[in-house]
Structure 1
Amino acid sequence: MDLSTGSSSMSRSSGIVKKCDCGLPAKIFTSKTEKNPGRRFFGCQLYKDGGTDHCKYFKWVDQEEVKEWPRNALIQAVAENREKERVIEQLQITIVELRSDLEKHLEDSGKVIYRQRLIITLLAGLLVCVVGAYIFG
């Protein structure tokens, strides 16, 4: 489980100091896992120092405070954020595709305008030749 650093003060819940299996005051950590993002829990204060040799004390803070509601709200908020990020990503892809289509259409329009100018120039030249031949011819 990926953990952030705990609070520097030892934790109380309901006015009682929580103690880990080592007998030390428990410390509050914050989970960074996908299943429980941002969820706070009590753990042994020697966890970071002792590696795997520390005691295995673990208790969710929100189960002490209010049963399940904060966790469910957080999980729902994370799911909504992920869905919004997915929609934003799809919109960004759509913008890139539309920009590419627009550039292609502008390029095609430029070619059409060039051809039309060329035709108008040729027709104007032909008209000058016809008028000149009629007058001088």
Structure 2
Amino acid sequence: MSCTTGSSVNREERHKSIGVPMRCWCGRKEDFLVSKTNENPYRRFYPCQGALQRQTELHLFKWVEVAMAEEFEAQKVEIGKAFSELQRMGGDCSALEDRVCQLENDAKLRKAEECSNKRKAVVGVSRHLGVAVCVAGGLALVYKAVCG
């Protein structure tokens, strides 16, 4: 028997199943059974219970090993997608970390520049104050010399 059976393309598409089947296209739940035929002794398969009762091949039939192989292949694809997403997120995190470090360095640089500017301002005020004290002292000496 084949994995999917049907007499027309439309019906075949309707009950085609990838991986472990949960339900047939007719809505019946799938449970596996063990074959008792001479061709496939003790081989496990998923049949539609409705198909077994009516002796028709229009419902889902799949060997367990075929279903498991398809399921593993589908999971492999999903795991690959998840790893790709994790790699993308890791790149985003690295870029964000670089940006945060850059902003921290910019903030430290601005703070250092502010301190430097304040220091320059204090030095400038100190010079002016020193000049003012010298001028005042010189005027005091001149006043004392003139006035007595």
TM bin (shorter chain)? 0.3 to 0.5
Q: Which has the larger radius of gyration?
A: 2
**TM-score normalised to the size of structure 1?**
0.44
**TM-score normalised to the size of structure 2?**
0.42
Determine which structure has the larger helix proportion and give its number.
2
Determine which structure has the larger strand proportion and give its number.
1
